[in-house]
Structure 1
Amino acid sequence: METLEIILKDLGLGYKLLFITCVAVAGFIASKLIRFFMTRVLKKSATKLNVDPTNYNFLKNAVSFLIFITVVIIIFYSIPELKSVGISLLASAGIFAAILGFASQQAFSNIISGIFIVIFKPFRVGDYIKIGDLNFGNVEDITLRHTVIRNPENRRVIIPNSVISSETILNSTISDPKICSFLEIGISYSSSIDLASLIMQEEAMSHPNFMDNRTEEEIKDNLHPVCVRVIQLADSSVVLRAYIWAENSGNAFVMKCDLFKSIKERFDREGVEIPFPHRTVYVKQNQ
């Protein structure tokens, strides 16, 4: 840069104007090329995420702005007559730039996180996700700043992208929407495990949301569509877990709620006891 400054210092006004024109044209061409390739990449990402590609126009405009600033800095720094003016302008704008940069730090973090979501695609619009332990629902919109989630109460949860990047994301529909729901029920030690397992299997298979997820090999081996296992011998109960498949998480939730009711009613009719805590109280009388 110093060698270029020495050369331009000895040249006439016409050559300096020519240099300014060349730098400006080069910056303009670079901006157009970068915007062209970014548009192609962002359109593909927007199609996969099922979002409006105009949401990312800000990113392309920001790149063009950075190229413009770089061109101006090169011109002012390379021409001696403009260098002193440029240094004065930069010095006067330094404090303002520092304040602005500090104020926009969180916003910039959200934008970078939004870019990562576009590139790595941990979820898309329409996916059912869970972020952390509290927020879950269907993704309605993804922007560079935030993500909008519609929860089961039909409320919109707006989460900054920087928060999403630091949380664990549970995506139920990213590649395979079907889900295996765990249905756990405890029975008393005096009740029949085989009878309880049979009731759970029959009630699960009779539900309209039930899905037979067995492979061809498992069907040939006559494996039951609903697997029931004893998972725990607790203090007052034998805990059974039924593995029941559904097409998606919504169907699985409804099916699980319905099965708790129907299985409890079948247990009552057929003598399978669901234990509950008992407490014996001894009252000591004063002599």
Structure 2
Amino acid sequence: MKELLSTYIDEIWHLPILIGVIILITIVIAGVTSRILNAIIKRNREAEDNDDVTSLVFFKRSIIVLIYLAGISFAIYMIPQLRVIAASLLAGAGLLAVAVGFASQAALSNVISGLFIVLFKPYKISDRIQVRTDLTGVVEDINLRHTVIRNFENKRIIIPNSVISNEVVINSNYEDNKICKWIDMGISYDSDIDLAKKIMKEEVLKHPHFVDVRTEEQIEAGDDIVPVRVVMMGESSVNLRAWSWASNPQDAFVMGCDLLESIKKRFDAEGIEIPFPYRTLVYKNDPPKSIESGENARS
């Protein structure tokens, strides 16, 4: 018995050292790989190559997970006792595998959806996107499980990849960053439409974020640099719209806010009225006495 115990101790004394070495090597490999990939990602960020940044960030996370899985698997393989236990568990784990498969279905779906997002690039890191009608922001991260969006209140919106891949995504940076910002203004029916259109065009042209997107053919054909048109005859206003272009969504938002203010001030100075909605009430019978008394009091 004593000899058997001595033999067993001789066989297992080195196992903690072996496990420690495997863990150390795994951590070192993962750390070195992470540093190398972080340096490459940083270089691509500085070059504003968001396509490569998106792919590299996803690849980095995937490769780190694989390194740790490989380290754990190797540690189990190098320990005979654990090998026997693992083989026994695998032999009778059919039912358990089915249960785990159902439980991990959502997680696997997120990973596959994340892979498709990185491969086909409907959006990438730093893109401004809108999901549904209530989620808008800039993509900060795409990992194995979810996409992180930073909205304009600096809050992080975390959306599972399987969810966002099944939604319609509006990408303001896809292929072309330029944005057409509509500037809508309503003027009274008594106001001078031509003067109002002239003011709107001048204010758009003066804004530093405005860009001319006309082609050479359009310029030669004499197309307006800033089209301003009547788009609707409202109940109490004539609605005008100016088409103003900016180089990116951020500039377009700032330009839109600035133009609403500057056009309003110009309209006030030039006597262009922006009307309030009003109603004319016609009574079939005599109005109630309470209304008559109120009107008499006001008069």
Aligned 1:116-131 pairs, distance under 5 A: 116-131=116-131
Within the candidate set 33, 39, 47, 2:52 is matched to: 47
The answer on whether the counterparts of 2:178 and 2:245 sit within 8 Å (CA) in structure 1 is: yes
Quick check: 1:188–1:237 contact (8 Å CA) kept in 2?
yes
Deviation at 1:111, TM superposition (A): 0.7
Structure 1 unaligned runs (5+)? 1-42, 65-85
Aligned-residue offset at 1:98: 2.4
Q: Write out per-residue CA displacement over residues 105-127 of structure 1, whole angstroms, 9 at most, x where no aligned residue.
A: 11111011111112211111111
Q: State the alpha-carbon separation in 2 of the partners of residues 223 and 54 from structure 1.
A: 49
Letter of the aligned partner of 1:137 in structure 2? G
User: Residue by residue, what CA displacement relative to the aligned partner does 1:148-198 show, whole Å, maximum 9, x if unpaired?
Assistant: 111111121111101111111111112110111111111111111111110
Counterpart residue number, 2:171: 171
Within-5 A mapping of 1:1-287: 47=52, 49=54, 51-52=56-57, 53-57=59-63, 92-279=92-279, 284-285=288-289
Please tell me whether the aligned partners of residues 51 and 141 of structure 1 are also in contact (alpha carbons under 8 angstroms).
no
* Superposition deviation, residue 63 in structure 1: 11
Counterparts in 2 of 1:47 and 1:156: CA distance versus 1, 3 Å: same
Amino acid at match of 2:270: E
The one-letter code sitting in structure 1 at the alignment partner of 2:258 is D
Instruction: Give 1:76's aligned residue.
Output: none
Q: State the TM-score, normalized to the length of structure 2.
A: 0.68
| Conserved? CA contact 1:50–1:125, under 8 Å | no
The one-letter code matched in structure 2 to 1:56 is S
How far does the alpha carbon of each residue in 1:128-156 deviate from its partner, in whole angstroms, 9 at most, with x for none? 11111111111111112111111111121
Segments ≥4 residues shifted beyond 6 Å = 61-64
**TM-score normalised by L of structure 1:** 0.70
Distance 1:89 1:138 in 2: 46
SS at match of 2:243: strand
Describe the superposition over 1:213-268 as per-residue Cα deviations: whole angstroms up to 9, x where unpaired.
12122222333211011111122211111100001011001110111111111111
Give CA deviations for 1:17-76 in whole Å, capped at 9, x if unaligned: xxxxxxxxxxxxxxxxxxxxxxxxxx9x97263542212227867998xxxxxxxxxxxx
Deviation of 1:93 (Å): 1.2
Question: Cα distance, 1:89 vs. partner?
Answer: 5.7
- Asked whether the 8 Å contact 1:187–1:275 carries over to 2, the reply is yes
**Matches of 2:241 and 2:68, distance apart in 1:** 54
CA contact (8 A) 1:51 1:142 kept: no
- Cα distance in 2 for partners of 1:182, 1:277 equals 22
CA distance in structure 1 between the aligned counterparts of 2:55 and 2:186, rounded to whole angstroms: 44
Identity of aligned residues (%): 52
Aligned mates of 1:220, 1:280 — CA distance in 2: 49
Aligned residues: 227
Counterpart of 2:232 in 1: which secondary structure? strand
Pairwise CA distance, 1:99 = 2.2
Counterpart residue identity of residue 125, structure 2:
V
**Matched position secondary structure for 2:93:** helix
Contact persistence 2:51–2:124 (CA under 8 A): no
